[in-house]
Structure 1
């Protein structure tokens, strides 16, 4: 959408670092891996001329790495976004003038601001939310960073140093823009971090027995009766790990994004057991945060394939209304749809959208994309929403997209690839990444071929 207006939300580095400290986000969300991922990318042939000096491969302590990542994030956005139609709103500005800030956003979107807009102030007697990291039920009216002076200084120092180094390799306007977005450290008052108890337990889902997978004839292909479950995805991830193909490669998650439980992550790798585990009670829930690569690997392992968008559209004609959509349940439900039996297809639409095997036409040099189809717990379930054309890149993932398999007459469990063969194919593609002559599009097409045995068809 090259002509769409852009709203850039900014925050000063010490403010960001305060949120990381309060929520213990660096460890909980695996930002050490994220730093390694971005640093390795910065040293690759495509990016080293501009970004190699900004991210040394030196395993820095958390405040230093965070300061660098904050600066690089701003630089990447400033380098990419056109100045036209761009509105900047800083966190600090919103705290000081929430009504004025909302008015600017309304003006950008060309909508009328309600006559009475009052910030919701947190009552002094209000109870502390159970999960403070995601609390959004109050309005902050002062800028306080819960950081000790050393941490604040390290974050500030290394964010600024990264911006200074960037001035040697990037357009001066880009570095000036990024520096402007990251201004405001001086507006914060520092205070010692406040210890917050972590919840003693996490809620669990009700365990349900899942019927054995079966394929129901429908249209020219047969559709699996249920979405792929967390339990099945954990088995595949564990077997691939044992075969020498870990999910995470140089900080990049290839098959699944292992989010924390409180962000919807239900699959977690246990390094001591060397296996993937499922959050208690969610074994029968459909797997999400799965990339297209993970979905295609599951299909190849199962002796099946992902449906095309046309097949999914055809199958949805006359389907029952989506059982779980539009935030009705606040998350996925079991793959078993109430009122449906083994010989029927559960959640043909609803619960999760699904990855398709095909995608929109792309320029040969550009990365491949694949279609998504259907309705999910966090999307509308109308016919218009179900049929809407949408797509993501091969390594994209969300809480609203999972895996549904189909089989042709000539595909059975016997045609599935073993974990060792799958690992060998994906590792071969990983070796190809070192070829600077290959475009992103060519690399994606090689991966599609490795997983499906056929040339990519956008």
Structure 2
């Protein structure tokens, strides 16, 4: 079970001229992106056969060498979007209702993954969207991360992830997708709607996701790319060998072994998304019955697939899911619940204010979830909903179990906040959402230079997974006249960004450190940027005011809703408009 690499000549469709229509098909979207990013490197795709394949070591190893994106397709496209991995992706995007705004967001998101330096894009559990995602990135080499089924099942059991991440519902959704016309001949029998126990259902999902990934990588079009396979078990046994193979594949110096941070406490160790220690043994905490059910389910699913899928596809999936015999079974250990909600500790929240700092007046507190929910509710009432056919404009409303703290209640038509996180900083906010919050507050976003000047010499607080999540925006020991979390808790959007050529999507800088990023000055001051509708679980909003600015500068939510709707109407009206032109139109509207 070693690290294997296959080199294939990468083919890509011819790029359209600027006058050609973007018709919404995968080929036309990929061609538009290729034309806009012709001078940039395509990203490397890290594709897991499932979740919990140990991808954090890859991120940690490459953090200093490559900008990274974690599950941009799976996380940022809601189920209503035709390309969402939670949707029944059709063979063509024609007649799906994909409008100009949706095409614009996709092109901007895909361009964001390219750059002068190669980026790393991690995706897991794409299921029936995998061929579409790889079709959108035809020049991207692929790293396939594999792990034996009982190793994945053990990780699920330790974190109670089947229940916490609602995998029973996920099984029902994927099973329904398997019965859609495009897929039923090959996959319906693999995911029967027979209410399986969690271990059996997990094994089936594992096998089907691996089969779909193998099928796509064996396709002569979508699979024509260099690829490297790294089994988790091989990495545990010989980390130096996997790092060397990774360096050769990416043509970079061998990444150094990243040691766990010594200051990470018990809370971080139990956090779902934290990485706190290296594994040096293959131990599965499962009962023998659960281990057997997972292994048998995987084997039975692949055996059934041999009746409808090509032999090389089933053989590859079986190889990726081998290795159960390498694990030592241990009885499950009872653990205290890691919990999802912060402890109910009274926090003295100072009133928002704008004390002077570094030549401008900085809002003393980061924007909270409560404040963002209020603005989103008012904008929705004004006729400007956050999501348009699955394209999120202002925030990415992730489930609470996946780190989301802002949720839209369809019954009341109001946004609510996960209990216990009301005074935590808002994240999963797009630059557009941050800019509208600034306008509504009678403020603006800081420039990158302003943010760096304010943070110079300050020690980062709540970074490096120190507590495994955000903390309240008020820092203990600081008052109304102090600026809390000048650096740390979340990174913040800036008002400016790198220069882009006229046709390319615009980007805006991110500044500072977050709970899930390194807190060193070098890391916090590193130049990084995202597209205007991008968001992540570590980026929030800090506001500043120029001297003399008061609350009279605030814009009403109805006015902002009208502004937003005018821009989305333009975005939907002409498929010939370039991403750069649309973004500049948005900037002029927001800044006017």
Shift, 1:68, TM fit: 3.9
Quick one: distance in 2 between partners of 1:383 and 1:117? 29
Aligned to 1:58: none
Cα deviation 1:349-380 (Å, max 9, x = unaligned)? 11111110000111111111111111221222
Structure 2 length as normaliser, TM-score? 0.55
Do the aligned residues in 2 keep the contact of 1:354 with 1:403 (CA within 8 Å)?
Answer: yes
Question: How do 1:358-377 and structure 2 match up within 5 A?
Answer: 358-377=496-515
**2:527 match:** 389
Specify whether residues 422 and 148 from structure 1 end up closer, same or farther in structure 2 by C-alpha distance, changes over 3 A only. Answer: farther
534, 541, 550: which one aligns with 1:412? 550
Alpha carbons 1:90, 1:181 under 8 Å: kept: no
- Give me the whole-angstrom Cα distance separating, in 1, the residues matched to 2:256 and 2:464: 25
Confirm or deny: 8 A CA contact 1:37 1:250 kept in the other structure.
Answer: no
SS in 2 for 1:215: coil
- Aligned partner (choices 136, 141, 147) of residue 76 of structure 1: 136
Q: Describe the superposition over 1:192-250 as per-residue Cα deviations: whole angstroms up to 9, x where unpaired.
A: xxxxxxx9984344353422210112233211010000100010011111111111111
Count of residues in Structure 1 that have an aligned counterpart in Structure 2: 379
Q: List aligned pairs for 1:27-46, cutoff 5 A.
A: 32-35=79-82, 42-43=93-94
Task: Please give the alpha-carbon distance, in whole angstroms, between the structure 2 residues aligned to 1:102 and 1:6.
Answer: 24
Q: Is 1:217 paired with 2:360? A: no
| 1:184 paired residue number | 316
Partners of 2:492 and 2:76 lie apart in 1 by: 25
Contact 1:306–1:355 (Cα < 8 Å) also in 2: yes
Contact 1:306 1:404 (C-alpha < 8 Å) held by counterparts: yes
Equivalents in 1 of 2:549, 2:313: separation in Å?
Answer: 54
Instruction: Tell me the distance in 2 between the aligned counterparts of 1:296 and 1:212.
Output: 21
Counterpart secondary structure, 1:425: helix
Whether contact under 8 Å (2:236, 2:279) holds in the other structure is: no
Distance across 2 between alignment mates of 1:377 and 1:220: 27
**1:5, distance to aligned residue in structure 2 (A):** 10
The match for 2:456 among 290, 295, 317 is 317
* Deviation (angstroms), 1:30: 7.8
Distance 1:360 1:404 in 2: 19
* Distance change >3 Å, CA 108–CA 30, structure 1 → 2: closer
Deviation at 1:325, TM superposition (A): 1.6
Q: 2:283 aligns with which of 97, 121, 133?
A: 121
Q: Which position in structure 2 is the counterpart of 1:264?
A: 403
- Structure 2: distance between partners of 1:382 and 1:67: 37
Task: Find out whether 1:441 has 2:488 as its counterpart.
Answer: no
Q: CA deviation at 1:119?
A: 4.7
Secondary structure, counterpart of 1:354 in structure 2:
strand
Is the aligned partner of 1:379 residue 2:379? no
Are residues 325 and 182 of structure 1, via their aligned partners in 2, closer, same or farther at CA, if it must alter by over 3 Å? Answer: farther
TM-score of the pair, normalised by structure 1: 0.70
Q: 2 CA distance for matches of 1:68 and 1:94?
A: 24
Contact 1:6 1:87 in 2 (8 A): no
In structure 2, C-alpha distance between the alignment counterparts of 1:267 and 1:424, rounded to whole Å: 23
Distance, in Å, in 2 between the alignment partners of 1:144 and 1:247 is 44
1:145–1:444 distance in 2 versus 1, CA, 3 Å: farther
Report the Cα offset of residue 148 of structure 1.
9.6
State the 1:147 CA deviation. 11
2:77–2:84 Cα contact (<8 Å) kept: no
Deviations 1:278-327 (A, max 9, x none): 11111111111111111001001111000111111222234x41222222
Structure 2: 5+ residue runs without aligned partners? Answer: 1-36, 52-72, 107-124, 143-224, 248-252, 258-277, 323-336
Alignment CA distance shift 1:391-1:277 (3 Å): same
Secondary structure at 1:351 match in 2: coil
**SS of equivalent to 2:80:** helix
Contact 2:494/2:508 (8 A) holds in 1: yes
**Whole-Å separation in 2 of the counterparts to 1:330 and 1:201:** 11
2:493 to 339, 355, 362: 355
Equivalent position of 2:565 in the other structure: 427
SS of residue in 1 equivalent to 2:514: coil
Structure 1, unmatched stretches of 5+, are 17-25, 52-64, 129-138, 162-178, 190-198, 454-458
Is residue 340 from structure 1 mapped to residue 483 from structure 2 by the alignment?
no
Structure 1's 27 and 361: CA in aligned 2 closer, same or farther, altered over 3 A?
closer
Question: Equivalent residue of 1:222, what SS?
Answer: strand
The answer to whether the 8 Å contact 2:356/2:362 transfers is yes
The answer on whether the counterparts of 1:99 and 1:117 sit within 8 Å (CA) in structure 2 is no
Alpha-carbon contact 2:353-2:480 (below 8 Å) kept: yes
Alignment partner of 1:305 is 2:437: no
1:88 Cα deviation (Å)?
2.4
- Does the Cα contact within 8 Å between 1:7 and 1:87 map onto a contact in 2? no
1:245 corresponds to which residue?
384
Aligned to 2:254: 111
Question: Which region of structure 1 is more displaced relative to structure 2, 207-216 or 401-410?
Answer: 207-216
Q: Structure 1 residues 347, 11: closer, same or farther in 2, change over 3 A?
A: closer
Distance in 2, matches of 1:300 and 1:99, equals: 54
Is the contact between residue 379 and residue 560 of structure 2 (CA under 8 Å) also seen in structure 1? Answer: yes
Report if aligned partners of 1:209, 1:284 keep a CA contact under 8 Å in 2: no
